[in-house]
Amino acid sequence: MKSRLFAAIALSLAAVTAQAEDGKLSIELNKFEPGESGGCRAFFLFRNQTGNSFEAFEMSLAILDTNGVIDRLLSIDAAPLPVQRTVLKLFEIPEIDCSDISEVLLHDLPACKPQNADPVDCFPLLALDSKTSANLAQ
């Protein structure tokens, strides 16, 4: 009886580990274009393969200029992020040309809450990428 219980627990832990390894929330900085107000418009693609929809997902970003100096901090709300979907979100980065951005640093996630669940630490779930001239890093 005990061996069956241990086997069941081991299988459950293996399933949770496999889901954690495979179930990523991919964030891609896909494109920059000049914004309407003179800044830079950033296009982000969110691919949610975590198995959970997120009702809250806020990112705190540091925008670095071409000298690697923090130009500004920007807080953006990307929620909702449905499970098994790719979502496009556009955000304005004011008062800086796109060509003057060398890096976008994701330095904090003030809110990360799966639907109908308690908030979680989402950093281990993230996979970051950029198709722009600026690096997207954490």
Q: Please list, in sequence order, all residues whose beta carbon lies within 8 angstroms of the beta carbon of residue 100, skipping any fewer than 6 positions away.
A: 65, 66, 71
Give the pLDDT confidence of 107-121 residue by residue, as tens digits.
Answer: 999 999 999 999 999
Using 70 as the pLDDT threshold, list the residues of the chain that sit under it. Answer: 1-22
Secondary structure (3-state) at 49 = coil
Burial letters 29-63, b for 16+ CB under 10 A, else e: bbbbeebeeebbbbbbbbbbbbebbbbbbebebbb
- CA–CA dist 88, 83 (Å, integer): 14
Residue 22, pLDDT score: 63
Q: Please list, in sequence order, all residues whose beta carbon lies within 8 angstroms of the beta carbon of residue 73, skipping any fewer than 6 positions away.
A: 60, 61, 62, 63
Q: Token pair of 84, please?
A: 């098994």
Residue 16, pLDDT score: 39
Residue 84, pLDDT score: 95
Residue 11, pLDDT score: 40
Residue 37, pLDDT score: 81
Show the 3-state SS of 85-126: CEEEEEEEECCCCHHHEEEEEEEEEEEEEECCCCCCCCHHHE
